[in-house]
């Protein structure tokens, strides 16, 4: 049962990663919009203070507002369906969108039958909302998550079902939509009565999280790191970035040419909404602390890297330095920490626990000092999303103080544990056996190198061949592979492709960590398998 639950959670984490992957781009576009419409920027870049740039910024910012408000639910419905569909993902996306439409219209009609439709003047605080011009119960992002899961389940179950005789035309993707249409109607009726109760529970839980103060923030930061080996950290941060667990704020935005106050939920959504009308904001709201995970990525891990370098064996320091600096570059620029984390996760797990604790404490300090800076990933996001907003609104220079302090803590904690416990971090591994090589060894080495040149061929061979592969997907840094059996893999062959780590989840699921180059590798594998 434990393995089954873990497997299902990991599948969901893979699915939710699809919409989460695109939303940071929305944040960057909001940052650009704020640059063009921010009166303070004009003092630094005077030529931006003209109608062309100002109007472009307004169009860009206001066109993005519906994505983080009205249409966030449909984004998650379609994204999760794509991420969790085992095959025919394009049909899953189309059916997911249609199912979303069926659900909201079914709910609206049923609410009318039950006389639950409210006058527009009474909507605020009622738990109702206007979605695509019609009134429904406000389920927020949870509607998108629930529908995405249901669509994916039905799609996977019925996509291969072929009907016979005259009904043959209604098989496959058509049958999926037929089943989902009735499912959406039933779900809409049930949700109309049940969701207000569920929403009350969610609101109570969000209030509890807020009341826990720094303990809640530490727990969030700790879980965000400690769950990385399982991939379940993708279930943690989106909840706080895009739902009311990360706060709820009334933000003044422009709609139809007029300024109106709109309720936004989730740290990232609130921040983006504030950027859309930045001149009306005197200081970013406190909720942005939930989106400060990048402070460890940009600053703190420097201390861990320096400690591992200094404690490496003298003869290994040059190689260790090259490996660690490359990994740190990915962390600073793109916010990808796994190459560093996997360098000590399995050889020195106590360091990973220490890492998660220090990361959580860094966010606690961030909150105690009342810093309002968003640090979602790497240094590019950090600079683009904060400097134009202004020091008074964000206190962003304090991030350097906290970050350097965190790096110092990392250094001394890691150095102490490595030397005291003689941990096998990079450069401290046991020496390999020294031997003389024969001509046969040389020939074998050359054959291996030739195979490795085509990385897709090597990976497929290492995974047990085409016949052993059920599905291959990827997230930011990992190939997520479903196999007929992980017992058929050959780790020696996979290691020729120089992964950061190979992780067996269970008898069917495997993760191979390659870092930010994983998408390119995945494309090569797809081309190889399809041809």
pLDDT in tens, 219-247: 999 998 998 877 778 788 888 988 888 88
Q: Which residues of 496-527 are buried (b: 16+ CB within 10 A; e: fewer)?
A: bbebbbbbebeebbbbbbbbbebeebbebbee
The two tokens of residue 385 are: 């999303």
What letter does residue 365 receive in the DSSP assignment?
H
Same domain, 432 and 455: no
Q: Tell me the CATH number at 524.
A: 3.30.1360.60
On whether residue 59 sits in a domain, the answer given is: no
Q: So what's the pLDDT on residue 435?
A: 44
pLDDT of residue 45: 84
Q: What is the mean pLDDT of the chain?
A: 86
Q: Which of 417, 438, 459 is the last residue of a domain?
A: 438
Three-class SS of residue 484?
A: coil
Residues 501 and 403 in one domain: no
Residues 430 and 468 in one domain: no
Mean pLDDT of 36-54: 85
Verify whether residue 167 is a known catalytic residue. no
Task: Tell whether 512 and 493 lie within a shared domain.
Answer: yes
- Please state the domain count of the chain: 2
- Both structure tokens of 502: 């190979």
In a domain, 369, yes or no: yes
How many alpha carbons fall within 13 Å on the CB side of residue 243? 25
Domain that holds residue 335: 290-438
Which tokens go with 246?
């990360």
Mean pLDDT of 389-399: 91
Q: Would the pLDDT of 433 be above 50?
A: no
Q: Is 144 helix (H, G, I), strand (E, B) or coil?
A: helix
* 385/430 same-domain check: yes
Residues 365, 292: contact at Cβ < 8 Å?
A: no
Residue that finishes a domain, picked among 438, 463, 487: 438
Do 469 and 403 have their domain in common? no
Residue 436's pLDDT is what? 43
481: enclosing H helix or E strand: strand 478-483
Q: Is position 75 within any domain?
A: no
Residue 57 lies in a domain: no
Active-site entry in 111, 475, 483, 518: 475
**Shared domain check, 458 and 427:** no
- Round to whole Å and give the CA distance between 107 and 110: 5
Provide the pLDDT for residue 434: 37
> In this structure, is residue 430 part of a structural domain?
yes
pTM for this model (two decimals): 0.76
221 domain residue, yes or no:
no
405 plus 317 within the same structural domain: yes
- 331 and 372 in a single domain? The answer is yes
- Identify whether 55 is part of a domain: no
Is 501 found in the same domain as 520? yes
- Domain-located, residue 327: yes
Last residue of a domain, one of 418, 438, 458: 438
pLDDT digits (tens, 9 = 90+) for 108-147: 999 999 999 999 888 877 889 888 889 999 998 899 999 9
The answer for residues whose C-beta is within 8 angstroms of residue 527's C-beta and 6 or more apart is 456
Residue 363 and residue 371: Cα distance in Å, rounded? 10
Instruction: Name the percent of the chain lying above pLDDT 90.
Output: 33
Q: Is there a single domain that holds both residue 317 and residue 397? A: yes
Tell me the C-alpha distance between 501 and 355, whole Å. Answer: 18
* pLDDT band, residue 444 (cuts 50/70/90): low
Q: Are residues 393 and 456 in the same domain?
A: no
Q: What is the pLDDT of residues 455-502, one digit of tens each?
A: 888 999 999 999 999 888 887 788 889 899 988 999 888 988 888 888
């Amino acid at each position: 049962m434990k393995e089954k639950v873990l497997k299902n959670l990991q599948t969901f984490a893979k699915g939710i990663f699809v919409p989460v992957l695109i939303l940071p781009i929305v944040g960057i576009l909001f940052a650009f919009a704020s640059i063009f419409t921010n009166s303070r920027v004009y003092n630094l870049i005077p030529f931006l203070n003209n109608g062309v740039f100002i109007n472009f910024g307004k169009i860009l910012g206001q066109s993005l507002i519906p994505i983080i408000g009205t249409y966030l639910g449909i984004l998650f419905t379609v994204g999760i369906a794509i991420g969790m569909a085992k095959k025919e993902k394009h049909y899953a996306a189309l059916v997911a969108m249609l199912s979303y439409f069926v659900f909201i219209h079914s709910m609206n009609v049923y609410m009318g039958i039950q006389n639950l439709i409210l006058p527009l003047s009474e909507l605020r605080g009622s738990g109702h909302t206007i979605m695509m011009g019609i009134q429904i119960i406000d389920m927020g992002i949870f509607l998108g998550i629930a529908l995405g899961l249901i669509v994916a389940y039905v799609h996977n179950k019925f996509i291969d079902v072929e009907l016979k005789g005259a009904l043959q035309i209604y098989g496959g993707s058509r049958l999926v939509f037929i089943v989902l249409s009735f499912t959406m109607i039933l779900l809409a009726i049930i949700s109309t009565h049940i969701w207000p109760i569920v929403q009350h529970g969610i609101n109570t839980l969000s209030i509890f999280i807020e009341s826990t103060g720094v303990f809640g923030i530490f727990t969030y930061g700790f879980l965000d790191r400690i769950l990385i080996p399982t991939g379940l950290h993708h279930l943690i941060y989106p909840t706080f970035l895009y739902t009311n667990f990360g706060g709820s704020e009334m933000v003044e935005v422009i709609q139809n040419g007029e300024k109106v106050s709109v309720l936004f939920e989730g740290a990232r959504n609130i921040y983006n909404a504030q950027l859309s009308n930045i001149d009306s904001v005197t200081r970013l709201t406190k909720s942005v602390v939930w989106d400060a995970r990048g402070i460890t990525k940009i600053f703190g891990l420097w201390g861990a890297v320096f400690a591992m370098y200094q404690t490496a064996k003298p003869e290994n320091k040059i190689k260790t330095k090259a490996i660690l600096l490359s990994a740190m570059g990915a962390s600073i620029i793109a916010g990808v920490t796994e190459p560093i984390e996997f360098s000590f996760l399995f050889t020195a797990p106590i360091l990973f626990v220490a890492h998660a604790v220090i990361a959580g404490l860094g966010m606690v300090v961030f909150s105690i000092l009342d810093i309002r800076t968003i640090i979602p990933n790497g240094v590019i996001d950090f600079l683009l999303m904060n400097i134009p907003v202004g020091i008074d609104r964000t206190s962003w220079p304090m991030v350097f103080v906290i970050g350097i302090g965190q790096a110092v803590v990392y250094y001394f904690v890691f150095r102490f544990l490595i030397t005291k416990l003689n941990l096998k971090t990079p450069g401290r591994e046991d020496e390999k056996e020294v031997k003389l090589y024969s001509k046969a060894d040389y020939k074998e080495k050359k054959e291996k190198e030739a195979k490795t040149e085509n990385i897709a061929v090597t990976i497929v061979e290492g995974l047990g061949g085409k016949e052993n592969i059920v599905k291959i997907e990827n997230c930011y840094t990992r190939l997520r592979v479903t196999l007929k059996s992980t017992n058929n893999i050959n780790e020696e062959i996979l290691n020729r492709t120089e992964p950061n780590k190979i992780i067996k989840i269970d008898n069917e699921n495997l993760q191979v960590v390659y870092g930010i180059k994983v998408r390119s590798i995945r494309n090569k594998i797809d081309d190889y398998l399809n041809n």
